Amino acid sequence: MAPVDSTALLTDHYELTMLQAALAAGTAGRRSVFELFPRRLPEGRRYGVVAGVGRALDALEAFRFDDDTLAALDGVVDAPTLSWLADYRFSGDVWGYAEGELYFPNSPLLVVESTFAEAVLLETVLLSIYNHDSAVASAASRMTMAAGGRPCIEMGSRRTHEVAAVAAARAAYVAGFEASSNLAARRYGVPTTGTSAHSFTLLHDTEEQAFRAQVTSLGVGTTLLVDTYDIAQAVRLGVEVAGPSLGAVRLDSGDLGVLAVQVREQLDSLGARQTKIIVTSDLDEFAIAALAAAPVDGYGVGTELVTGSGHPTSGFVYKLVAREGADGELVSVAKKSIDKGSLGGRKYALRRRSSRGVAEAEVIGIGTAPVDDGDDRALLVRLVEKGEIVGREPLTAARDRHAASRAELPLAAQSMAKGEPVIPTLFA
């Protein structure tokens, strides 16, 4: 099937069969509140990062059942349901944590208020975006924290699905990565970077020819990959070709900590004291932390980043927490399933902070907003109002928010060891 702009098929079959049954039963129009939230953090993680909000708003806006989409549903639902879908437009309200914000167990990341029919159809597409992007951003945040101010570059496109690669680059940028290797990420305003691979060196008869070709084309500020053959010889050649103003050298194999020390000493002895050392090769937050004392100036991260560094999904769920009762008022509803229970009632949230601005707890109110003691920070912002998107913002705003929110956390958040959430979740 040719690609279409509609996102309406990015859903599960049972969303539409529920819709069909609810339409027939006369309950599809009941006012309802759905919430997207984590029951817990991934094992050992101390906090999570919300990402994908902007992408979710784009997907919601494109959630339309055009002719091609309806044709694909032939045999899935009956004619009355198809007729209803043809006129589908989300007309409700959505509140949520802003992109880049941190989250903890039971944080109400999205609160979707509309009819049952309108809101239930959004479950899968919202979960797909939030679960993936937040997993990547959460891993990226740990990596940029471990890097201690040294820049990190996202380089994982070839290790994941081509569409997921772009979403991962975007999520990583939210959580502090400086740039991506993926050119499609530029659509989101993510800076891109890159110079050459080993194949470029192997293309030429000598390493010197390869370096001269690169420097001639890209300038002396380029980054030369120096581990194709002999590293020490490549570093010497690089400085000979580019001079002491050579931008950087990249190490992509071996014991990176030891090699970085050796290369730094060699560069300094050659007068290239300002030439930076960039390291790549299967890095994660633990490897980055282990290199903290090494003379490394930047990190390129691929596989572990785009796969969530051991946690490829965030474990979010989307549950009905309130619906219209016979008297027209909202009634709390909740699952009682073992290990999969939910808390009924519309949620509100704030981040309790000390007088010094240090986060102390995630406070969730059920039915009413928790009381701000003056130092706290409300977490839910309006994203959609009566069907209109009102929560779009530049990606740089999400990036700044992440940095500020992470800076509020207690010192224990900086630990890479497994542990409990760094602040508790309290219900007011």
The 8-class DSSP code of residue 373 comes to -
Mean pLDDT of all residues in 88-99: 98
Residue 3: what pLDDT?
43
pLDDT tens by residue, 315-324: 999 999 999 9
Average pLDDT over all residues of the chain: 96
Beta bridge partners of residue 215, listed in sequence order = none
pLDDT tens by residue, 366-385: 999 999 989 999 999 999 99
Most confident of 92-96, 328-332, 335-339, 366-370: 92-96
CA distance 377 to 158: 39
Residue 337: what pLDDT?
75
Is residue 63 scored above 60 in pLDDT? yes
Q: Which helix (H) or strand (E) holds 169?
A: helix 162-174
**323: three-class secondary structure by DSSP:** strand
Q: How far is CA 279 from CA 13, 245, 296, in A?
A: 45, 19, 7
Tokens 């309006």 label which residue?
382
Beta bridge partners of residue 385, listed in sequence order = 388
Domain at 13-135+311-344+373-427, CATH homologous superfamily: nicotinate phosphoribosyltransferase (3.20.140.10)
Whether this prediction's pTM lies above 0.85 is answered by: yes
What does the block give as tokens for 204?
């030429």
CA distance 259 to 251: 8
pLDDT tens by residue, 230-259: 999 999 999 999 999 999 999 999 999 999
Residue type, 29: G
Of the candidates 365, 321, 311, 315, the residue with the CA atom closest to the CA atom of residue 344: 321
- Segments of the chain assigned to CATH 3.20.20.70: 195-295
**271: three-class secondary structure by DSSP:** coil
Q: How many other β-carbons are positioned within 10 Å of the β-carbon of residue 386?
A: 10
- Segments of the chain assigned to CATH 3.20.140.10: 13-135+311-344+373-427
Class of domain 195-295: alpha beta
**388: three-class secondary structure by DSSP:** strand
Is residue 277 scored above 90 in pLDDT? yes
pLDDT tens by residue, 163-209: 999 999 999 999 999 999 999 999 999 999 999 999 999 999 999 99
Residue 5: what pLDDT?
85
